[in-house]
Structures are given as structure tokens and as C-alpha cells.
Chain A
Amino acid sequence: MSSTLEKIVTSRFDDSTYQHIDAYEKSAGYQAIRSIVDKGVTSEEVIEIVKTSGLRGRGGAGFPCGLKWSFVPKVNGPKYLAVNADEGEPGTFKDRELMLRDPHQLIEGILIASYAVGIEKAYIYIRGEYSAPILVVEKALQEAYEKGYVGKNIFGSSFNCNIYVHSGAGAYICGEETGLLESLEGKRGHPRLKPPFPAVEGLYGRPTVINNVETLCNLPHIINKGADWFSQIGINEKNSGTRMYCVSGHVNKPGLYELPLGLTCEEIIEEHSGGIIDGKKLKAVIPGGASAPVLTSKEVYEDKIKMDFDSLAAAGSMGGSGGVVVMDESTCMVQVAARLSRFFEHESCGQCSVCREGTGWVSEIISRIERGKGVKEDISTLKSIDPNMRGNTICVLSDACAMMFGAILNKFQDEFEDHINKKCCPLNSPYSV
């Protein structure tokens, strides 16, 4: 069944020759941007196509892409595109492969977005650990510059667009869009107060669009095959197209699966990822990266929750970054909560008192419970910290941390209580998280 599903952004993944511009061009590469430039399609028309396609951001928030572009005011002077390739959400590894295997697809996507918004400078912010993707994208850019597809007077038109690669240096918060901009300006990656939103005042105080790599990679296909084609893939017009599900953890075939939006979590685990390893039972799944609240095995197998944006939101979780982390029955959920809260503690930028102290505190309490040193009040303390960490900060890292531990605590409270009562980890889990 899986073989009949249409691939979009991973359609060239079988063959590494697509890293090079010749092979890419032979498979319809650079036709989308060439056609809109040649035909003189207006930027409004491009934005309209993207709006109709229903393409939503693949970076985390799932914000409609065309709508985001339309917020950019029509002003003179520089505007910027920042491509979010910081991919730091635990469980997510799609942008890395998109850049490694098909860098020109990204470049073409950037050109289309820039054309639509009237942008002449784009920065691809790639996380510093990704040294191979950085080199691959730089190489691809060099090829595209040589051909005149990037730079001045692209395809002989008046459309100019320079694209640069910018390397990060190890900070998850630089994936948050305004943290990314600060980092791009050479500062600490502190997310900015909003408003003003980056569409109005972004990089260097100028209107700026921030898009995820996967979001942009969809654009050439939408232009080539039409908005309607795209909107018919997926479950409905608000959840159209495919997603790259990054399946990891206790499954037989971990890896990347580009699947239409709207499959159930069960289908993704059982049919595409080869089921749980060693024939064990499922305990929990994180459906969209560490920030997305966990789903229980009941939610997966009985409620048959679908993995599109809106279904996950309705189930109290979120599509997030597409990172699907599967945990089998032997997993200690207190350990999982402790490990992930340590992640948020480590990655909080530290400017908001709520997040700086909250993430640290939560992480300390859960680790203590996990070590068997928990006390009864810890659970009520955690439960009262949870709402205080939501909605009260500059960015949503604090919310993400609260959503993460809040869901684990609510759905697996018995495990926490067990730890406290037995003063040790009752599961004796084989995996030390």
C-alpha cells in the first residue's frame, strides 16, 4: 500500500545524483520558478496559489504559509527570508535529509517564496552540527549561482535573489523564529517580544518571512502541479499535502516516511514503520517532536487518532515538527519526562523568569522522583507549575515544556506515584534515559 502513496518532497530521495543541478534540472528542476518568472506571474498570484493549496508550515506551528506571506507589508527597502533549518526538536530529522539529498529543491522553494514576497536576500540558517548539509547546500548554491538561477536578473528578468548559508552554533531556541533572527544578527538567540511580528519588523528591523525547509520544498511542486492537486492530497483542504514523519524509537523500521496528512498514528507505526520491536506492546507515542504531548497506546489503537494538524490538536496534542517517537511498554515514563525536561532546561534561553526557573525546577523535581527521592507533594507542585508555565512567556518554549510534562504526568500519573511510593524506579527499564 505504501508504495502507491504519492511522494512530493522526497520524490528524488532514491538517487544521490539529485544533489547536482544537472540531474535536478532533468527531473523538472527549476521549472516552477522559471515558469512564474517567464510568464510574469504576479507575486499576488503566487501567494494566492499557495493559499489555495492549503500548505501549512512544517516547522512546528502549522501556520498557513500563504497567509503568513500576505502579512508582509508592501514597503520599499529590503525584506528578508530566513529559512529555518535549525531542526533541533528532539525526534525530528527531516530537514537534514532534504538538504542532503535534494538541495536544489530547497533553493527553488526559496526562490519561489522570495519571488512571492518581493525578497532579494535569503539566509538559510542551518544548525551548526549539520556540517554535511551545510557543505551540500553551499555546493548546490554555487552551482545555481553559476547557472544564473540565483543572484541578479534571474532568468533574464528583473528578479534578483541572493541566498546565503548561515551556520548556527548549538542552540535549540534559535529554531524559534525570532530567536533565529537574533542569532542571525550575531547575538544570543533570545526570542523577541511580539508584536512587532517578524513579517513587519524582523531581521535588521525589516519585514521578514521565516519558513521551515520542508515547507519551502513543497513550493516547486505546488507551482508545477497546481494548488488543486496539492490540496487533494491529505485529509482535507486545511490539512493538505504530505508530511515527513520522522519515526524513531522502538519500531522495527525507524526512518523518514513521507505520507499524506490524515493517516492514523497506528498506520504510521504498524504499516510503515514495521511495528514495535521485539513484538512488544506500545506504551506511548510523541506525535510531533518533544514539545507535542504524548499519546497513549489507547489513543493510538482505540481512538485511532489521525496525524494531521487539526486532528492532533483536537486530541490535545499537536503535529509539531513531525517527529514521531515511539516508546514500548518497557519505557519508564518518569524517565522520559525527566529527560525531556532536562532538554528544555538546557535549551531555555533564560530571559523569562517563568521559563528560566520553571524548566529548571520541573527538571529537578522529576529527576528527583525518578531517582526515588520524590515526595507526595511533588505531584501537586508539578500540577500547579504546569499552568503557570503556559501562555506567560515571550516564546512558547515554556509552554512546550509544560505541555510535555503535563501530558506525561496526567496520562501516566500512576508511574509517578509508584516511583514516589517505592522510592525507586519500579520498571527497571533497560534503557537509561
Chain B
Amino acid sequence: MVFAYFPNSSDEEDFEFSDKNRKELERVVKKYPVKRSALIPALILVQKQEGKISSKAMQYLASYFKTSAMEIWSVVSFYTMLKTNDLGKFHFQVCDNLSCALLGAGKLIDFLEKRLDCPTGKTRSDKKFSIERVECLGACGGAPCLIINTDYFENITAEILEPIITSLEKGEAVIPRGADEVALNIIKDSSFISVENDVSDNSE
């Protein structure tokens, strides 16, 4: 019996996977002998579809994985890449750990805040940009570095970033910079350009 002392205040829309993502989840679940292992991949899928993980989506996954919403939330809140708030269409994750900081990550963040008109940790009101400081991104050889949506940009300075941002504002394609370049032929369909489309599909 589900007791309810307090009404559910959430006025979000109910969550449902798109057909494509449901199929993807079904494929992923098969990888593991225990269904629960697919929770983090499922959360990543939710985030890919919705741009964030809503309370309704957590409740959806709770029943999908036969557990409580608290269990899902405790996992979601543990992992920094899983978001419950709206991000910008272009989400900047700037590494400010030691190697990047030694080579000017701090200045880079100052530049970005001004250039994007958006404080760190926030999403700009038009939901175009958001900036986050993150821990080491594992690309210290190319410090300072950052990720825009899913793509790495290494050895970054304000001068290098300026045209990239301009292109993004214009809606032009931008290619990753640094070690990821060797994989351009493989990642071309999946990099943030397509993620961006996902998000805008959703918002319309």
C-alpha cells in the first residue's frame, strides 16, 4: 500500500523514454547479468533525452529498476555528470585542477564568465550557455583544457576560444581540439553538434 502523507508537489510532466532510447536501454540492460547495472547508462540516456534528470524520471527509473526513488536519487547525486538542473545549450566544463590551474585555468574562467555573460555554476537565462568548474579531465598534457558538451578542447587560451564561441553563437560546427582529433572520423556523428540537435528537438 502506498501511503501518502503529503501530496506530491511535483508538477513536472511524466517521464517516458523515446522509442529509440527505450530500445537502446533494452540493448544496454542485456549487457549485464543484473539489471541494476544498467542504472547509470539509463540515467545517462535520460539526460541525453531531456537535458537533465527530473524527479519524475527518477520515479520512473525507480519502478523500472524495482527500487525506491531515494535509491535513484542517491545514485544521481553521487555522480557529478548527472544533472537535475537545466544546463545551457552549450555546457562548458572547465578543468581547474592543478595542471590546468598552473597554466591559467583561472584566467580562462574569468574570460569565459565575461565573454558568455554567465557566472560559473549557473546557466545563462536564455539557456544558451552554462559554465561549470570541474575536477581533472584527464587531459593535463593539453592544459588548460575544457569540454564543451561532450568534446574536448585542449591547450586553450582566450584567443583560441573566442572564434570557437563565435561559431557556436552562429550555430556553426566546431571541431574538438587536442587528442580527440585523432578520432574525428569516428566521433563525428556523435559529438555535441548532434547532442545540440537532441536538446533543441526537445525544447521545441
A and B touch in the complex (CB under 8 A): yes
A→B interface (CB under 8 Å): 16, 19, 78, 87-93, 95-97, 100-101, 121, 127-133, 135-136, 139, 164, 166-172, 183-189, 204, 246-250, 254-256, 286, 290, 323, 325, 327, 331, 336, 339-340, 343, 346-347, 349, 431-433
B103 adjacent to A170 (CB under 8 Å): no
B: residues with CB less than 8 A from A are 31-34, 36-41, 43-44, 65, 74-75, 78-82, 93, 96-99, 101-104, 106-107, 134-143, 147, 150-152, 176, 179-180, 182-183, 186-187, 190-191
Residue in contact with A248 in the complex, picked from B79, B80, B99, CB distance below 8 Å = B99
Q: Output the nearest chain A residue to B79 by Cβ-Cβ distance.
A: A169
Report A254 CB to chain B, min CB distance, Å.
5
B140 to chain A, nearest CB (A): 4
Cα of A26 to Cα of B155 in the assembled complex, Å = 34
- Name the residue of chain A whose CB is nearest to the CB of B109: A432
B187→A131 contact, CB < 8 A: yes
Kindly state the separation between the CA atoms of A169 and B75 in the bound complex, as whole angstroms: 10
Q: Which residues from chain B contact A128 at a C-beta distance below 8 Å?
A: 44, 79, 81
Contact of B75 among A188, A331, A343 (CB under 8 A): A188
Residues of A within 8 A of B39 (CB): 186-187
Q: Which residue of A lies closest to B78 (CB)?
A: A188
CB proximity of B134 to chain A, nearest CB, Å: 8
Determine if A432 and B44 form an interchain contact, defined as CB atoms under 8 angstroms apart. Answer: no
Would you mind naming 21 contact pairs between A and B with Cβ atoms under 8 Å apart?
Answer: A96-B179, A97-B179, A100-B179, A100-B182, A128-B79, A129-B134, A131-B187, A132-B180, A132-B186, A136-B186, A168-B81, A186-B34, A188-B75, A189-B79, A204-B33, A248-B140, A254-B99, A255-B141, A343-B135, A346-B135, A432-B106
Contact B37 A139 (CB under 8 A): no
Whether B135 lies near A100 (C-beta < 8 A) is: no
Given contacts A185-B36, A187-B75, A248-B143, contact A433 B138 (CB under 8 A): no
Would A340 and B98 be within 8 Å (CB), given that A130-B138, A164-B31 are in contact?
yes
Q: Which residue of B lies closest to A80 (CB)?
A: B33
Query: Which residues of B have CB within 8 Å of A169?
Result: 40, 43-44, 79-82
Verify B183–A135 contact, CB threshold 8 A.
yes
Give chain A nearest CB distance to B155 CB in angstroms: 9
A-B pairs under 8 A by CB, number: 186
CA distance A128 to B39 in the complex (A): 14
Assess the A431–B106 pair: CB atoms within 8 A: yes
CA distance A247 to B38 in the complex (A): 36
Nearest 7 interchain pairs by C-beta: A186-B39, A170-B81, A170-B80, A169-B79, A432-B106, A248-B140, A248-B99
User: Is A100 touching B180 in the complex (CB atoms < 8 A)?
Assistant: yes
Are A343 and B182 interface neighbours, CB within 8 A?
Answer: no
**A residues less than 8 Å from B150 (CB atoms):** 131
Residues of chain B within 8 A (CB-CB) of A189 are 78-79
A433/B106 in contact, CB under 8 A = yes
Whether B102 pairs with A250 at a CB distance below 8 angstroms is: yes
Quick check: A132 and B187 within 8 Å, CB to CB? yes
Q: Separation in Å of the A96 CB from the closest CB of chain B?
A: 5
Tell me the bound Cα distance from A249 to B101 in angstroms. Answer: 9
Beyond A169-B44, A248-B143, A343-B136, 4 additional pairs, beta carbon < 8 A: A121-B33, A129-B134, A186-B36, A286-B98
Q: Collect the chain A residues with CB atoms within 8 Å of residue B32's CB.
A: 164
A91 to B80, CA, bound (A): 19
**Nearest CB of chain A from residue B132's CB, rounded to whole Å:** 11
Task: Report the minimum CB–CB distance from B136 to chain A (whole Å).
Answer: 4
